[in-house]
Amino acid sequence: MVDFSTVLQFIQAAGIIVGVAYYILNIENNRRNQELTLKAQQQQLETRQAQLFMQLFNKITSLEGIEQVRIIRSAKWPTHEEWLEIYLKDDKYRNAFSWFITTMEGFGVFLREELVDIRLIALFIAGPSREMWEAHKEIVYKERVRRNMPRYGSEWEYSINELMKYLEENPELAT
């Protein structure tokens, strides 16, 4: 005959085994939920990055954007003083340049804050970005002094520096 204490010990052992199994299942379930949450957050981040990039893409490729870049490219100036004369006298050029530098500053901010992947910039506007920076970097540097704004164009410069680093690491994307 089995006495009462043996049955009680058996029930206690079974309870401990069930409790441990339940605890292990809970831990595994929590781990899986955390993984799913992280994946969902990553997808949200990627979606948001794509949305931000598309906003900039649409801004640049819009008819207004194309016209602004055309206006900037059509102006010729060999010196900062001549550029400044055009900038101060020609409303269309001033508006176009302001539009452009603000747009490029936006790319820089989004890159610095890791809201947009540098690969997207490299694939989309590597060549034109470098071309426009090379044409305007001395202007930006001199405008920092003239305006007493040390950060004038700094995010544009940051985006170009990051782009150049990325293109050195990925020469197949250099255009």
> For the segment 45-69, what is each residue's pLDDT rounded down to a tens digit?
888 888 888 888 898 889 999 999 9
Same-domain pairing of 90 and 13: no
Number of structural domains in the chain: 2
Provide mean pLDDT across the span 140-168: 96
Provide mean pLDDT across the span 79-92: 94
- Give the range of the structural domain holding residue 23, as residue numbers without chain letter: 1-46
Same-domain pairing of 32 and 108: no
Examine the pLDDT at 135 and tell me if it is beyond 70.
yes
Same-domain pairing of 130 and 77: yes
> For the segment 17-35, what is each residue's pLDDT rounded down to a tens digit?
999 999 999 999 999 999 9
173 is written with which tokens? 């994307």
Domain membership of residue 57 (yes or no) is: no
Domain membership of residue 9 (yes or no) is: yes
Domain membership of residue 41 (yes or no) is: yes
pTM attached to this predicted model: 0.74
Same-domain pairing of 82 and 115: yes
Q: How confident is the model at residue 2 (pLDDT cuts 50, 70, 90)?
A: low
